[in-house]
Structure 1
Amino acid sequence: MLLAGALAMGSTMAAEAPPFRPLSYQDRLESRTLDSIELLVIHATELPDLDMAREYGERIHYPGSRTGNSGHFYIDREGRIEQWVALDRVAHHVAGQNANSIGVELVSLGRYPDWLDSRHQDWQEPVNEAQLRALIGLIDQLRTRLPNLNRIAGHDQLDRRRVPASDDPSIQVRRKLDPGPEFPWSRLIEATGLQPWNDGETAP
């Protein structure tokens, strides 16, 4: 089985591809070519488990297109990977960078359930070893299929917006802190060879 979207295009891969469980609206997502993909964005679900992440992923946020927000891949705490959106479809996972990127979601509590409460901004759960190994393996697979995939970023680097805190609108908090302050960026970059996002680059 090939990575879906790279996918029904031919040859086999050395490593077993993750199971593909397309979201109900996947076919309504915008199409793209694989050579347009050059950035991989790391997220955290900020939810208790994969089942709840799926529930959130299936929610329709855009009535016009009848689509919602999700990543392409999800990595559970034990390192199990699922693919929910084909690579040749544009997922809604990071404002302003969806068209050229892949979203990978790590199951993690993050700030759940008080995401925007100014009193609860501490990150509850770092990425674990099983998730990191699975992520490195996934990136290795993706690089064999995507000729222009060469950069990597965290969601927090691409979305720096601040919003009123849910407990006190006079306080501003970050919308996004994922994949978390203790994410092992140096280890991941060394293992994959991807170039880190330059914080001086333009992002929303």
Structure 2
Amino acid sequence: MLADLPPLPPILPSPLPYELLLEERPRSQIDLVVIHCTELPDLAAARATGEQVLYESGTGNSGHYYIDRDGSVHQYVQVERIAHHVRGYNPRAIGIELVNVGRYPDWLAAGSQAMHEPYTEAQIVALLSLLRLLREEIPTLAYIAGHEELDTTRVAASDNAAVQVHRKLDPGPLFPWQLVMQSTPLQRLRPL
């Protein structure tokens, strides 16, 4: 299917204000793509969240690429910088965020654990084209995983401390893993 994909539209550079404060890495260190969903209403909210400074280093949490519902691709962090997007895997990973409401606004409420918004065809086509480009530019890229597979932490629900919920559920049950895996040579990373 990758051969049938349209060319990737221009990637829109949108560097975060603190991008140059993020630790540098060689491209040869990168072997993993992690798929996320923003769990926010729109790209503007995702941008505002990414700009929040959360660490003493003057940086915050963000993926490298954001794919909006219309298929536009925005790059917030260069791949040579280590973005904070998945616990324990950041030094080796590229984070790709798909704009999607997920469980917003009650992410950790026991009654809000379903994810209902499907990903758009434009998002998935752009994602597949971006994966193809990244494979061409980064020969060491070999694996792909969902955020939920790498961060399986459970926490007390925000509305009922007796109930445990997953801290992360993205990209969630509506993400088309079968199509993505048929369309890329990347292998699923299954943590031990």
Contact in 1 for aligned 2:9/2:72 (Cα 8 Å): no
Distance in 1 between residues matched to 2:101 and 2:116, nearest whole Å: 6
Once the two structures are superposed, the pairs formed by residues 55-70 of structure 1 within 5 Å of their partners are 55-62=48-55, 64-70=56-62
Contact in 1 for aligned 2:15/2:75 (Cα 8 Å): yes
Q: Secondary structure of the equivalent of 1:189?
A: helix
1:189 CA drift (Å):
1.1
1:182 — aligned with what? 174
Q: TM-score, normalised by structure 2?
A: 0.94
1:111 has 2:96 as partner? no
Q: Which residue, 6, 14, 23 being the options, matches 2:16?
A: 23
Once the two structures are superposed, the pairs formed by residues 1-204 of structure 1 within 5 Å of their partners are 17-62=10-55, 64-198=56-190, 201-202=191-192
1:157 CA drift (Å):
0.1
1:158 CA drift (Å):
0.2
Question: Of Structure 1 and Structure 2, which has the larger fraction of its residues in helix?
Answer: 2
Distance in 2 between residues matched to 1:30 and 1:37, nearest whole Å: 14
Superposed CA deviations along residues 8-41 of structure 1, whole A, max 9, x for unmatched, are xxxxxx8554011100000000000001100000
Superposed CA deviations along residues 111-167 of structure 1, whole A, max 9, x for unmatched, are 000000001111021212110000000011111110100110000000000001000
Contact in 2 for aligned 1:42/1:179 (Cα 8 Å): yes
Amino acid of the structure 1 residue aligned with 2:75? Q
Q: TM-score, normalised by structure 1?
A: 0.89
Contact in 2 for aligned 1:126/1:180 (Cα 8 Å): no
1:170 CA drift (Å):
1.1
2:4 — aligned with what? none
Amino acid of the structure 2 residue aligned with 1:157? E
Provide the identity percentage: 51
Contact in 1 for aligned 2:148/2:168 (Cα 8 Å): yes
Q: Which runs of 4+ in 1 moved over 2 A?
A: 14-17
